[in-house]
Amino acid sequence: MQSDSDSIKQHISENETIIQKLNEQLERRTNEIKIIQSISDEIINSLDPESIFNRSMQLLDEVFGFHHSHILLKKENEDVLYVVACHGYENSGLGAEVKYGEGILGTVARHKKIMRVSGIQSKLRIVKMMTADESKSESKKLPGLPKVDSQMVIPLVVDQRLIGVYSVESEDIGAFKAIDELILKLVGSQIATAIENAMLFKKQERLVEAYRRFVPEELHEMLGKESILDIKRGDQVQGEYTILFSDIRGFTSISEQMTPQQNFDFINEYLGFIVPAIKKNGGFVDKYIGDAIMAIFPNKPADAVRAAREMTKNLAEFNRVIQSRSENFTQIKSGIGIHTGTIMAGIIGADERFEGTVISDAVNIASRLESLTKEMSCAIIASDAVVRTLSAEERGNCSELGDVNVKGKKNSVRIYKLDD
């Protein structure tokens, strides 16, 4: 009886030890999962690729002791990886390339499967030992520790597409165990998604940026739309705006002496000098028509007048710069017409091609005033609608040129020459 009860007691105590051990294990696992969860949360919430790279490598070092790590991304349209970030190395090796199939990194990329390799140095020695032809076994310099012995590499895969690889390595023998592989696998899929999202976001930002250059943001604002995504055909707005028209005089004859490439270079350089004055004074370019610029000033007509004077000044600077480069360059002159009136701005188009545009008599008048600058041999002409809103200071040296008729307009328009 005594021995039976002793053996039961021993069993119970053994069981308790086992249960305690299991509980400890469970607690450790729970902690690990919590850490992985918090790493994932932090990484997945970032849209900046650089900070995803650096933060994930830093966290994996702090928490799991992965002291040396690399992130490589796949080049577009090429089976080549390149180093985008690294952690724990003296020499960064950023930009270093690895072809698919080269070393552990390249092998993981090719097979899209996680790999944990131990005893790399002894395995290399065995390979070399078995290779009769020593000259062939020339090691290629790949990014990483010179005497790496343990390495884990995980493919970063989104929708079965490889976007890169994540590598951790150590010079210690047997540094990574099966549990480390599991951790890296769990965090890796989060990192892959985070990188992909951040890359897409970056691309999206570039697209929006590019788009803005074609359709001005101010036009969305005039239409009361927050983004281009909200704009649809038929959206329109009507209001009192000032139109500025600017054109290079006799550009056709200048243009004939240049190659197409020279033409574009010339116009772009010219616009580079002239256009900043528009934005600076509260306007925006509605469209370019060859060398001509049509700009809208949604606020005060005085903004357009200020812009026009600054554009004339900038043109003088442009002439000076070009002349210093080529002596036989004849200085160019431009004319500017300004008119304020009721305009309708909106989105027109059919099928695939839409455009923001302005429909108004005011546009025709501004354009007509611009063409009159040549006859009147002056740089800036503004209509009465503009001039009567200007303060004495804003008018400056302003003289009346009389009334002119504009095609399609019943009443004539009184015009003024503004000093430049």
CB of 183 to another protein, least distance (A): 16
Which residue in 108, 168, 248, 366 binds another protein (CB under 8 A)? Answer: 108
CB of 92 to another protein, least distance (A): 21
| 188 near another protein (CB under 8 A) | no
| 111 near another protein (CB under 8 A) | yes
Whole-number Å distance between alpha carbons of 415 and 403: 6
CB of 213 to another protein, least distance (A): 46
CB of 261 to another protein, least distance (A): 47
Whole-number Å distance between alpha carbons of 165 and 101: 13
Closest to another protein by CB, 13 vs 131, is 131
Which residues ranging from 78 to 107 are in contact with another protein (CB under 8 A)?
A: 101-104, 106-107
CB of 72 to another protein, least distance (A): 15
Query: What is the distance, to the nearest Å, from the Cα of residue 107 to the centroid of all Cα atoms in its chain?
Result: 32
Contact 220, 231 (CB under 8 A): yes
Contact 255, 330 (CB under 8 A): no
Contact 333, 223 (CB under 8 A): no
Whole-number Å distance between alpha carbons of 324 and 128: 67
Closest to another protein by CB, 106 vs 346, is 106
151: left (phi > 0), else alpha (psi -120 to 50), else beta?
beta
Closest to another protein by CB, 24 vs 317, is 24
Query: In angstroms, what CA-CA distances link 204 with 48, 192, 217, 277?
Result: 13, 18, 16, 29
Which residue in 12, 18, 19, 173 binds another protein (CB under 8 A)? Answer: 173
| 124 near another protein (CB under 8 A) | yes
- The residues near 336 (Cβ < 8 Å, ≥ 6 apart) are 244, 245, 246, 308, 311, 312, 370, 373, 379, 380, 381
| 11 near another protein (CB under 8 A) | no
Closest to another protein by CB, 113 vs 280, is 113
Percent of the chain that is helix, strand, coil (3-state, to 5)? 50, 25, 25
Which residue in 138, 226, 256, 351 binds another protein (CB under 8 A)? Answer: 138
Contact stretch for another protein (CB under 8 A) within 22-30, 170-178, 280-288, 357-365 = 170-178
Contact 181, 152 (CB under 8 A): yes
Binding site for another protein (CB under 8 A): 101-104, 106-108, 111, 113, 115-120, 122-124, 126-128, 130-131, 136-140, 142, 149-150, 173-174, 177-178
